[in-house]
Amino acid sequence: MMQSRTHNCGQLRAENAGQQVTLVGWMETVREVGANFAFVVLRDYYGTTQVVIENEQMMQIVKGLNKESTISVTGTVRERESKNPKLPTGEIEVVPEKIEVLGKCVHNQLPFEINKSREADENTRLKYRFLDLRNPAVKSNIVLRCQVVAELRRLMTEQGFLEITTPILTSSSPEGARDYLVPARNHPGKFYALPQAPQQFKQLLMTSGFDRYFQIAPCFRDEDARADRTPGEFYQLDMEMAFATQEDVLTTLEEVLVPVFQKFGKYSRVSQAPFRHIPFNEAMERYGSDKPDLRIDLEIQDISAEVQGCGFGPFEGSTVKAVVVHDFNQARKWIDKLLADVEMQTGNKACWVKVDENGALTGGVSKFLGDCAPALTEKLGLKPGSFVCMAAGKKAAAQKTAGVIRTLLGRRIPGHFDEEQYALCWIVDFPMYELGEESGQLEFCHNPFSMPQGGMQALLDAEGDMEKLLAINADQYDLVVNGYESASGAVRNHDPEIMVKAFQMVGLGEEDVKAKFPAMYNAFTYGAPPHAGAAPGVDRLIMLLTGEESIREVITFPMNKNAQDLMMGAPTTVDQSQLDTVHIAISEK
């Protein structure tokens, strides 16, 4: 027997007919069909049950209540005359002898109809999230999240990992995003930071002699929202392995994630281990992105050599990339929309040509490419009905623009997008360094804690030579699922001498390293093991499993796009006394 009830609202069947039961839940709907006759739908976490009112006493209780009031119903189960095969409880109904009001809804008008809450404005949904979550379709994502997290814990434990929690209040660390700062009451002028990730702590665990660590870790980053990224906080399956190589980490995650996608995923087809490994430079050349959606069968080709000297200004001295679609039959208006969307997403213009029935280039920039036609035809395998969309500019810009072209063409033209699957791959061999877009100076490309491929010798050989420094790769890797970066990781730089040298290349000396990472640097001087790890994002994983387009649909109490919790009213002002306690003064601009 369940507390305060004998059954839940999804449990009763025909074999329960004749039994006296007590149900509790929310009064979802009331449909009156006579003076003292009505149908009430009672809903709880487990499902719904129809309650039939057949006397004046019960009717008076129900008529005095607004929808979404919570009630207890005690009565007799009977078989329905008109059964509903679409409902698990559709063969029965309950005739009440007693109805008790447990919690009255005092509002005549709800902000939205519960079962249609997903159609409401998002800010309204978030303000009344406690009502939104009553919608079974919304609740099901949260239930799935719980099941997936439990499965991840089980699989990681079976792999020999220990679940260890790491501190929430820590020191500020340059992880690539803005910190959330917490003033220290007992240390005026000093601050804790909420961890952007447990990066340093998990590496310190490896130096402490733990062999395999994981946790479902909360991470805090003051960054803007996107459809696949929530502002403020998120969760990741954080893991680290001592005495491990890149392959050890990748193999472990494949053994954990494939069963999760197979068991809980919306799509039945999942890439099988080992996943495909694609070097970063190859990914940029072939797909125009370091997170390619491999469900699209189109690839990018380089036509820089074939179009040089054609007389079209944007091509001259530029890198030119092309994406080809055969059997193309879209109208000019469709092409114009494509080009506009490419420019909106990238800030760069694209251009195009088609191949007519005689094999000649036509439309778009074809008038400039007459002399290049034979070379283009051979390079791209053109034939009547082919469509070529092109991007030109500096190499990185041309690659990224072509990547957007590939995605838009693949999704919009039938036959090039195999959506019903999970296509997973590893992007490997990321550059260790890059030139900052704003600073123009050498910066870490991906993760400053990564081991450069070739170790100390690679750094010594490249010192003072910008071209060689930019050519150094790191032992870094990303897991990509259906075009989303779903995990990042690396073989860690556990050698203090190599770490100092790596930071020297970006203008930071040994004292800077000691100041920024004092605990980790100090620990590494006491004999650190080689170690490696990664961190799949839990929120994004659930989003992919459910097929949702917004990550907020799989988070129980998400913030809105402006990092506001509309339900709790956060962020908010605080009393002056609270500010005084933590030695904070607010200055108005």
Note the pLDDT of residue 231.
86
Q: What is the CATH number of the domain that holds 255?
A: 3.30.930.10
Q: What mean pLDDT do residues 344-357 have? A: 96
409 — pLDDT class (breaks 50, 70, 90): very high
Q: What value does the mean pLDDT of the chain take?
A: 95
Note the pLDDT of residue 553.
96
439 — pLDDT class (breaks 50, 70, 90): confident
pLDDT at 70 over 70: yes
pLDDT at 332 over 60: yes
Note the pLDDT of residue 160.
98
Note the pLDDT of residue 174.
64
- The tens digit of pLDDT for each residue in 540-560 reads 999 999 999 999 999 999 999
Residue 379 and residue 447 in one domain: no
Note the pLDDT of residue 110.
97
Name 464's Cβ contacts closer than 8 Å, sequence gap at least 6.
none
Note the pLDDT of residue 587.
86
314 located within any domain? yes
pLDDT at 1 over 60: no
478 located within any domain? no
Residue 141 and residue 248 in one domain: yes
Note the pLDDT of residue 175.
59
Note the pLDDT of residue 232.
87
290 located within any domain? no
- The position carrying tokens 């997170």 is 291
Residue 412 and residue 435 in one domain: no
Kindly write down the DSSP assignment for every residue of 114-138, as one continuous string: GGGGGGS-HHHHHHTHHHHTTSHHH
Percent of the chain with pLDDT strictly greater than 90 = 91
Residue 168 and residue 219 in one domain: yes
Which domain range does residue 363 map to?
Answer: 296-417
Residue 439 and residue 360 in one domain: no
Residue 333 and residue 406 in one domain: yes
- The tens digit of pLDDT for each residue in 506-528 reads 999 999 899 888 999 999 999 99
- The tens digit of pLDDT for each residue in 490-506 reads 999 999 999 999 999 99
490 located within any domain? no
Note the pLDDT of residue 172.
87
User: In 3D, which of 75, 76, 27 has the Cα closest to residue 48?
Assistant: 27
pLDDT at 50 over 90: yes
> How would you class 31 by CB atoms within 10 Å of its CB: exposed for 0-12, middle for 13-18, buried for 19 or more?
exposed
Does this model's pTM top 0.85? My answer is: yes
- Phi and psi torsions of 65, nearest 5°: -115, 145
Distance from C-alpha of 79 to C-alpha of 100, rounded to nearest angstrom: 23
Name 427's Cβ contacts closer than 8 Å, sequence gap at least 6.
278, 279, 280, 283, 290, 291, 477, 478, 480
586 located within any domain? no
331 — pLDDT class (breaks 50, 70, 90): very high
Residue 247 and residue 148 in one domain: yes
Q: What mean pLDDT do residues 186-215 have? A: 96
286 located within any domain? no
Domain count, the chain: 4
pLDDT at 2 over 70: no
319 — pLDDT class (breaks 50, 70, 90): very high
pLDDT at 72 over 70: yes
Note the pLDDT of residue 167.
97
Distance from C-alpha of 267 to C-alpha of 544, rounded to nearest angstrom: 10
Looking at 375, 391, 417, the residue that finishes a domain is 417
Tokens of 86: 């679409």
Note the pLDDT of residue 176.
65
Name 407's Cβ contacts closer than 8 Å, sequence gap at least 6.
289, 293, 296, 483
Residue 389 and residue 317 in one domain: yes
pLDDT at 588 over 60: yes
Percent of the chain with pLDDT strictly greater than 70 = 99
293 — pLDDT class (breaks 50, 70, 90): very high
- The position carrying tokens 């694609």 is 278
376 — pLDDT class (breaks 50, 70, 90): very high
- The tens digit of pLDDT for each residue in 378-398 reads 999 999 999 999 999 999 999
Distance from C-alpha of 11 to C-alpha of 472, rounded to nearest angstrom: 62
Residue 233 and residue 321 in one domain: no
176 located within any domain? yes
* Number of C-beta neighbours around residue 68 at 10 A: 17
Residue 326 and residue 385 in one domain: yes
Residue 177 and residue 258 in one domain: yes
Question: Which is more confidently placed, 1 or 478?
Answer: 478
144 — pLDDT class (breaks 50, 70, 90): very high
Q: How far, in whole angstroms, is CA 184 from its chain's centroid?
A: 33
2 located within any domain? no
Residue 255 and residue 151 in one domain: yes
User: In 3D, which of 532, 431, 426, 544 has the Cα closest to residue 487?
Assistant: 426
- The tens digit of pLDDT for each residue in 123-140 reads 999 999 999 999 999 999
Note the pLDDT of residue 223.
86
Q: Are strands 319-325 and 387-393 parallel, antiparallel or unpaired?
A: antiparallel
228 — pLDDT class (breaks 50, 70, 90): confident
